[in-house]
Structure 1
């Protein structure tokens, strides 16, 4: 196992999807942890005006739309000094596999959560390999470990992120790059504000991601629910699958 530790202190990071939710919280936490500079990938630079006023030149908004290949290429040309890549940007499009909207839901989830992540990572990998210490942090989900029926398409996209993370880790074994998979449970963000679930805070997720970088962790379960799921998944993955299926079924019966 790779035991590379990559503290953000004095380093340059790039966070995709940094305008709100977990991405915004990660951006702030990296800066508070002493990052030299954080490039914040956003679709609207004005969304970070308040943080820019506080952190000045240490925060650099970068226009990025993971649905647009030209946007990815343009953004990564200007951030060659990045040492920590946080693949955070994602969407949540609900739906299972047997509905009228299945294919559309799959397409939306995979376009950003999977293809966007892969394209951004490919654009950055040569820059990261040139650093003495570097990290790729992929935000998956507990739903990437076991699917929930009402979120089947989203779960599938996050399962792909989980598999991609494992593949990256294998390819970069014994390299200078730590590959971390992050598996949040329900977090209090705009993306899932309509779901009736107990939710943890984005700030807690961000703090545990930064701690994971400092400790060199390859798996991070950053909130209350995910810690419980993670412990069970590592020993009994089939049990997690059955629990998730039962949970949704019970909710639908209410």
Structure 2
């Protein structure tokens, strides 16, 4: 638990990948919990029309492709009042690390899931340092704590997000910035529609993320699966590894 805690009520937040799945649920949760303004980053901001109609000026659609440095720079200029940055944008390839396309799939996912987190965070971090209190929350995955063979290369990228989060936490340890990692299990989104297992809802994840920021949690396990497996990760990492090894395509 961090000494730095932040309540999104009255705060300005940016959520990358804020137009669907977990990202959209986080945007809605933040607005419902009283955020002053939420920038919802998306490659196609037009996908946010319905939310914009509902929340008006408090919801700001923002053209953002975390693999495109020009949109990252533009976003940092436009959203220079951000106090909380939530790195949610991500892509998932269903594969094995033994597949013939493994290196190609890995490169495509690294560009979004890892390099995108670093690029966006570095574009905003100096402004965040100037806030009275601020936060960076990176959406990793339980699959970043132990490789799940059916999503082998994705797991590798989310393990990298876990490491990146630890790196920022160390670099910013003396700052006013809470650095949190979010480790969802299987969540019912378009990204995981082909995964046959019990899934929690994006809404439950969103609630847990906001609650985690308020509590100053550095490691947020936001759903039933992650609560069950994540709780024992610190004492028995092998438990998750053996459990995930059962999921072979």
TM-score category of the 2 structures, normalised to the smaller one = over 0.9
**Segment of structure 1 superposing worse, 188-197 or 21-30:** 188-197
Give deviations 1:178-219, integer Å, cap 9, x for gaps: 000000001010111111111100000000000001111101
Q: Quick check: 1:2–1:174 contact (8 Å CA) kept in 2? A: no
Q: Secondary structure at the match of 1:233?
A: coil
The gaps in structure 1 that reach 5 residues or longer are none
Q: Hey, what does 1:112 align to over in structure 2?
A: 112
Aligned residue pairs total 249
| Cα distance in 2 for residues equivalent to 1:11 and 1:97 | 41
Return the offset for 1:164.
Answer: 0.6
Partner residue in 2 for 1:147: 147
Q: Distance in 1 between matches of 2:63 and 2:27?
A: 15
CA contact 1:129–1:177 (8 Å) conserved in 2: yes
Cα deviation for residue 238 of structure 1 reads 1.6
Shift of 1:45: 1.5
Return the offset for 1:134. Answer: 0.1
Where in structure 2 are the equivalents of 1:200-211 lying within 5 Å? 200-211=200-211
Task: Provide the rounded CA distance (Å) in 2 between the counterparts of 1:234 and 1:243.
Answer: 15
- Tell me the CA shift for residue 42 of structure 1: 0.8
Per the alignment, in what secondary structure is the counterpart of residue 136 of structure 1?
Answer: strand
What whole-Å deviation, never above 9, does each CA across 1:50-99 have from its counterpart, x for those lacking one? 11111110000100011211111111111110000000000001212221
Q: Which residue pairs with 1:194 in the alignment?
A: 194
- What whole-Å deviation, never above 9, does each CA across 1:7-51 have from its counterpart, x for those lacking one? 001100000000100000000000111100000101112211111
Match of 2:64 in 1: 64
Note if contact 1:165-1:181 (Cα within 8 Å) is conserved in structure 2: yes
Task: Tell me the TM-score normalised to structure 1 length.
Answer: 0.96
Distance in 2 (CA, whole Å) between partners of 1:248 and 1:205 is 23
In structure 1, distance between residues paired with 2:164 and 2:46:
32
Cα offset, 1:235, TM superposition: 1.1
Q: After the TM superposition, which parts of structure 1 deviate over 3 Å for at least 4 consecutive aligned residues?
A: none
Aligned to 2:97: 97
Between the aligned partners of 1:13 and 1:114, the Cα distance in structure 2 is 20
| TM-fit CA distance, 1:174 | 2.7
Give 1:131's aligned residue: 131
Q: For 1:243 and 1:28, how far apart are their aligned partners in 2?
A: 33
CA deviation after TM superposition for structure 1 residue 244, in Å: 1.1
SS, match of residue 75 in structure 2: helix
Q: Output the aligned Cα RMSD.
A: 1.0
The alignment partner of 2:151 has SS state of helix
Residue 103 of structure 1 and its aligned partner are, at CA, apart by 1.1
Tell me, yes or no, if structure 1 residue 16 matches structure 2 residue 12: no
Residues 188 and 199, structure 1, Cα contact 8 Å, conserved in 2: yes
